[in-house]
A = this chain, B = another copy of it.
Amino acid sequence: MRLLLLSNSTNAGEPYLDYPKHYIKSFLGDKCIKVLFIPYAAVTFSFDEYENRVKARFNEIGHDAISVHHFDSPVEAVRSAEVIVVGGGNTFSLLKLLQQNNLMDIIKEKVDEGIPYIGWSAGSNMACPTICTTNDMPIVQPVDFKAFNFVPFQINPHYTDYVAPGHAGETRDDRINEFLTANPSVTVVGLREGSILKFENSKLELLGKNDIKIFHYNEPTTEYSPESNFSFLI
């Protein structure tokens, strides 16, 4: 299995998909590939618009992208894809449309067979057992919360331990601790913005400059740097 799981598409103040472009280029290799893009997490902008933004950045690094919404049969589009790329947005919308278009099984099958998978934000959450560590608002209701289960842990994308001054609502850590209390056997990876998890050749690596924070039920959290050995996670 080959996975590139990004916390976020874009760092604050930078152009769209800019920070990860060299990682994506190196992950995809030199041969020009037209990736199949899944735009279903887009809510407040069109799938065409989303495709255009992604395609422009993939073109810049010598690749191309076509969105699944152009195909009469999304299932056949996935079946013949060389690389699957799942963009961020709203995780509930993404999962609901993947379910409605019958793409859950076929994407899982293809990625299990070795087709590379790139996701960011909601697209990275989809690589986990469930979407239960999303930060998104449940604006629509999927049939269930099960995701692709490519990795055995949960990612919390856009992870931050920043606490807004004067705010009394739950912090991100509070929410993750609630998740762990309800799901005590699961590991949660707090993936900060600018961080990427890469899995290939049976090895998990952390790319980018930031540490990740690992949460287990009823244990102190631990920070791991990009130099760490992450075999314990898989």
Q: How far is the CB of A161 from chain B (nearest CB, A)?
A: 11
Q: Is A134 an interface residue (CB 8 A)?
A: yes
Contact present for A168 and B178 (CB under 8 Å): no
The distance in angstroms between the C-alpha atoms of A139 and B134, with both chains bound, is 9
Q: A-side binding surface: helix, strand, loop or mixed?
A: loop
Say which residue of B138, B139, B164, B178 sits within 8 Å of A44 (CB atoms): B178
Q: How many copies does the complex hold?
A: 2
The distance in angstroms between the C-alpha atoms of A227 and B93, with both chains bound, is 38
Contact present for A138 and B138 (CB under 8 Å): yes
Contact present for B12 and A168 (CB under 8 Å): yes
A-B contact pairs, 24 of them (CB 8 A): A8-B169, A10-B168, A12-B166, A12-B167, A12-B168, A44-B174, A44-B181, A90-B182, A93-B182, A121-B169, A131-B138, A132-B137, A134-B138, A136-B170, A137-B175, A138-B138, A139-B179, A140-B182, A141-B144, A157-B169, A158-B168, A158-B169, A160-B167, A162-B164
